[in-house]
Amino acid sequence: MDSCVSNTWTRPLAATSSVPDKADVVIIGGGIVGVSTAWFLARQGVDVVLCEKGHIAGEQSGRNWGWVRVQGRDTREIPMMLESLRIWEDLKDEIGEDVGFTRGGCLFTANSDKELRSFEDWVNTAKDYGIDTRLINPGELQQYVRGSAVDWSGAMFTASDGRAEPHKAAAAIARAAQRNGAKVLPACAVRGIETSGGSVSAVVTEHGTISASTVLCAAGAWTSMFCRSLEIDVPQLRVKGTVARTAPADEVLNGNVFDDRLGIRRRQDGGYTVAHGGVLEHPVTPSSFRYFFKFLPALMQELKIVRLSLGKEFADEWSTPETWALDEPTPFEKMRVLNPEPTPGVLTAIRRNLDTMFPALAKTPIVESWAGMIESSPDVVPIIDSVDSLRGFHIATGFSGHGFGIGPGAGKAIAGLLTGKDSGIDISALRLSRFFDGSPIRPQSSI
């Protein structure tokens, strides 16, 4: 079994040399959101072209922890997430490829009675939606997490939550979209948009121009920059997460476990994907100042876990122009893959916390590490919307640290938005204008 996660973005790039003259819909970005949308559109017979500047799932969608959970989410995401879980359940049969999905459950452990009680609100929310979340005591917790040296007070537990393998899922969905007629073009950066009378008329790529009146920008961490070049303001910031995986080892748990020292889940290859539960690094950039006030509530909420750093990211963004010529290489070709370095100190802490909390895994080697830039909106839930100032232009971004699990559900909802057909998923609360019309910005969940 090929378990190497970084193969997703280090393997040779399949070259695209030409693009179709026209399409009904062009999608910018080959992450889980873009490929899921392409799959849903292609199945409805829509002529769709997906352009990805680097590798399919080369950024967030191939680097995440792989948790597919509804537990703990903002209520605005819950209906879409429940639909997503239904899609994940049948995905293997629908696309004929394994994506590693299994419902192993999700546990947020509590280190004190106070922390356990703090989960009660969400358990009540879950009841409103018919979700099987409940609080469990330390005795029951031991059934799901064996051999831990931690004396937890209990946990919040959702048995129906699950996980999938990020190095498999988005690429498999992209292939399914292709089998249904979508054209999926890696190494094909979109440079900009041509307009006519205030509407989208074409998409300019590094390999040529595609006439299209409908465009979805699902460009992950690049969305704000891309949109700024079109004079569309999308508040977005990035935080870096460092991740590692162990070699296969004895089964100490068969689900996802979150503690503020460790996030750990069982992998399909018998190893564990591990990360620090209490560290996210924000490289300060000019956007940090531009969007400071909009992100202040999120920053206050995450104060204990966000570490600020000032490094080359500031200079990189400072030196990137706000607009560019469309007939020469753009910032998207200059950085095909956003590939941050894992932070050594965080890796050391992950190893230490793993050994202390799970002595049975203390001799299990960490065989790979990587990092990913998580992009977030100010209230930590996505923006899925049509842009009023540019007819035909749509945005799906800001999925924060939980867009992998919701990706297939988002794809279904976005396909509905683009075709005007009711997907059955209400996305009205995810409109872009909520950040500009005086609505209070209140994150309900963490990054």
3-state helix, strand, coil split of the chain in percent (to 5) is 35, 25, 40
From 65-73, 88-96, 122-130, 429-437, span contacting ligand FAD (CB under 6 A): 65-73
The answer to the question of residue 383 lying near ligand FAD (CB under 6 A) is no
Three-class SS of 211-223: ECCEEEECCHHHH
User: Which 3-state string (H, E, C) describes 313-351?
Assistant: HHHHHHCCCCCCCCCCCCHHHHCCCCCCCCCHHHHHHHH
Whole-number Å distance between alpha carbons of 145 and 157: 12
Q: Is 51 in the site for ligand FAD (CB under 6 A)?
A: yes
Answer yes or no whether residue 41 interacts with ligand FAD by CB under 6 A: no
Q: Is 104 in the site for ligand FAD (CB under 6 A)?
A: no
Nearer to ligand FAD, 135 or 371 (CB): 371
Contacts (Cβ under 8 Å, ≥6 apart) of 205: 19, 51, 185, 188, 189, 190, 191
Kindly state whether residue 235 participates in binding ligand FAD, applying the rule CB under 6 A: no
Contact 163, 66 (CB under 8 A): yes
When binding is defined by CB under 6 A, the residue of 16, 19, 25, 31 that contacts ligand FAD is 31
279 to 237, 259, 263: CA distances (angstroms): 16, 12, 11
Question: Can residue 380 be called a binding residue for ligand FAD (CB under 6 A)?
Answer: no
Q: What is the size of the binding site for ligand FAD (CB under 6 A)?
A: 42
Q: How far is the CB of 118 from ligand FAD (least distance, A)?
A: 21
418 near ligand FAD, rule: CB under 6 A: no
Binding residue for ligand FAD, selected from 222, 272, 291, 358, defined by CB under 6 A: 222
Dist. CA 438–CA 237, nearest whole Å: 20
Q: What is the smallest separation between the CB atom of 127 and ligand FAD, expressed in angstroms?
A: 23
Alpha-carbon span 181 to 41, nearest angstrom:
10
Query: Sign of torsion, CA 31 32 38 41?
Result: negative
Pattern 151-190, ligand FAD, x by CB under 6 A: --------------------------------------xx
Question: Is 402 in a helix, a strand, or coil?
Answer: helix
The residue among 177, 154, 157, 161 whose CA lies nearest residue 97 is 177
CA distance 339 to 154: 37
Minimum distance, C-beta of residue 188 to ligand FAD, in the bound complex (Å): 7
Strand (E) positions, 71-181?
106-110, 134-136, 154-158, 162-163
Output the smallest distance, CB 50 to ligand FAD, in A: 9
- Closer to ligand FAD by CB, 145 or 190: give it: 190
The nearer residue to ligand FAD, 136 or 410, going by C-beta atoms, is 410
Among 258, 358, 399, 435, binds ligand FAD (CB under 6 A): 399
Q: Is 277 in the site for ligand FAD (CB under 6 A)?
A: no
The reply to whether 28 sits near ligand FAD by the rule CB under 6 A is yes
Which pair of tokens denotes residue 196? Answer: 């006519």
Contact 435, 441 (CB under 8 A): yes
The minimum distance between CB 51 and ligand FAD, in angstroms, equals 5
CB of 289 to ligand FAD, least distance (A): 23
Check: CB of residue 234 under 8 Å from CB of residue 222.
no
Contact status: 221 vs ligand FAD (CB under 6 A): yes
**Is 241 a binder of ligand FAD (CB under 6 A)?**
yes
308 to 337: interface string for ligand FAD, x by CB under 6 A = ------------------------x-----
The verdict on 192 binding ligand FAD (CB under 6 A) reads no
Q: Which stretches of the chain bind ligand FAD, using CB under 6 A?
A: 28-34, 51-54, 58-61, 63-67, 189-190, 218-222, 226, 241, 243, 332, 372, 374, 397, 399-405, 407
